[in-house]
């Protein structure tokens, strides 16, 4: 039996529609229009694409967008100074510093400089720390992990008691999504390149989140029949049969795994659209926090 395909575009469209409606209601009630500031340091082409798509989403949902671009040789003081200015700007309810930053910059210090009330990426150490602690709630949750969980819950609304396996332990996806799964009362295993007998560990998963950054790594034989598979990977591989000579694939061998899994996200069209949708939701939340 072929797996159910989890349509990330459709789920993201629903989230965006809800945000757009809430923004319109805010403005009609005389409240501030949510505002998102993006900070881009350097000229990385992929980062430019990501920032452009975020600004486009803002325009579609009635969210104010403020774009700031700094040269690749910008100093630590310059970047942190800009962040401080945005912290103080009442029109800005969310600050997103596009990662990765050039290697000479201290990424941790830049993220720490963002006010936790405007940390819509959810990467401030205090927000991550609260996410990791029982009985404490972060103001914001990182967007890709949050979107991954929403997609899993379209198939299994209550994750309580499920065996969840997270493949990958990055600060951006693996660790935060594992913390979110713990909060949902799943039993969570984090595995990685040094895990012994990795396929057998992955095969225990009722819910698998693959975020390791290796194309087509997870094979059909690794997956428990009927499992829900959320593929966070975005990898470009050469493909002479494709018009562009290459194509995007995930960390999961989609063609193999879809014949075993109960549900699976495609790449592209799965987790990707959810990331921006959750960012828009977080920016709205930033505006709501400013009302208090």
Name the binding residues for NADP(+): 168-170, 234
43 is catalytic: no
244 is catalytic: no
Task: Dihedral sign for Cα 169, 172, 173, 179, please.
Answer: positive
Q: 90: number of CA atoms within 13 Å, CB side? A: 4
Q: What are phi and psi of 66, to 5 degrees?
A: -120, 115
Q: Are 206 and 164 in contact (CB under 8 A)?
A: yes
Return d(Cα 32, Cα 90) in angstroms, integer.
Answer: 9
Which residue, among 138, 222, 218, has the nearest Cα to 180 in the 3D structure?
A: 138
Torsion of CA 147, 184, 286, 277, to 10 degrees: 10
Q: Residues marked as binding?
A: 168-170, 234
Q: Which of 118, 119, 121, 281 is catalytic?
A: 121
Query: Angle at which helices 8-28 and 271-290 pack, to 10 degrees?
Result: 20
Q: Which residues are catalytic?
A: 54, 98, 121
């Amino acid at each position: 039996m072929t797996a159910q395909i989890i349509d990330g575009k459709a789920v993201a469209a629903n989230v965006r529609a809800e945000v757009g409606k809430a923004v319109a209601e805010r403005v009609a009630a005389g409240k501030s229009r949510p505002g998102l500031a993006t900070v881009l340091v350097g000229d990385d082409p992929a980062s430019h694409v990501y920032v452009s798509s975020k600004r486009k989403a803002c325009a579609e949902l009635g969210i104010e967008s403020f774009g700031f671009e700094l040269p690749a040789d910008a100093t630590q003081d310059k970047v942190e100074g800009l962040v401080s200015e945005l912290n103080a700007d009442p029109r800005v309810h969310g600050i997103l510093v596009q990662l990765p930053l050039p290697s000479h910059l201290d990424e941790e210090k830049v993220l720490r400089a963002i006010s936790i009330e405007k940390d819509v990426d959810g990467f401030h150490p205090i927000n991550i720390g609260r996410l990791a602690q029982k009985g404490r709630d972060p103001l914001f949750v990182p967007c890709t992990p949050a979107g991954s969980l929403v997609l899993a819950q379209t198939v299994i609304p209550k994750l309580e008691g499920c065996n969840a396996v997270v493949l990958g332990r990055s600060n951006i996806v693996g660790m935060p999504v594992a913390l979110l799964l713990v909060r949902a009362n799943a039993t969570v295993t984090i595995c990685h390149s040094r895990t012994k007998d990795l396929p057998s560990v992955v095969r225990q998963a009722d819910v698998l989140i693959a975020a390791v950054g290796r194309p087509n790594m997870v094979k059909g034989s690794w997956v428990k029949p009927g499992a829900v598979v959320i593929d966070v990977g975005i990898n470009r591989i050469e493909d002479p049969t494709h018009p562009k000579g290459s194509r995007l694939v995930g960390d999961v061998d989609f063609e193999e795994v879809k014949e075993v899994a109960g549900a699976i996200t495609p790449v592209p069209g799965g987790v990707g659209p959810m990331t921006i949708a959750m960012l828009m939701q977080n920016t709205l939340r930033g505006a709501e926090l400013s009302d208090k």
